[in-house]
Amino acid sequence: QSALTQPPSASGSPGQSVTISCTGTSSDVGGYNYVSWYQQHPGKAPKFMIYEVSRRPSGVPDRFSGSKSGNTASLTVSGLQAEDEADYYCSSYAGSNNLVFGGGTKLTVL
């Protein structure tokens, strides 16, 4: 159960796109299409943004999209807005009722 690997930081200017990666193994990210993404603002509980790699819950703007290739999943935020500045975490089902999170990425809107 090793944590998924995310870059510590990412940044972009308003209106630009930014992609955050999430690398695991064939036992988690690569083995299941159960990757989720969460947004967390300081002092707040995480917010559910993406599930099953690329599906958006109701209410999440379509500026947020997800994808996966092999053992690496990605979250892309298009048309960056100031309120997108937050920490982002990926997670993946890892079999046998286990879940694993990534270390988190701090997204800065320049």
Bridge partners, residue 68, by sequence? 73
Q: What angle do CA 105, 83, 7 make, to 5 degrees?
A: 10
CB 109 → another protein: shortest distance, Å?
Answer: 20
Residue 38 in the binding site for another protein (CB under 8 A): yes
Dist. CA 23–CA 44, nearest whole Å: 25
From the list 25, 27, 32, 64, which residue makes contact with another protein (rule: CB under 8 A)? 32
Q: State how far the alpha carbon of 51 is from the alpha carbons of 38, 48, 91, 108, in Å.
A: 9, 8, 9, 23
Residue 20 in the binding site for another protein (CB under 8 A): no
Residue 99 in the binding site for another protein (CB under 8 A): yes
> Is the CB of 16 or the CB of 48 nearer to another protein?
48
Looking up tokens 């690997």 gives: 5
Residue 24 in the binding site for another protein (CB under 8 A): no
Bridge partners, residue 12, by sequence? 109
Binding site for another protein (CB under 8 A): 1, 3, 32, 34, 36, 38, 40, 45-46, 48, 51-52, 55, 57, 87, 89, 91-93, 96-104
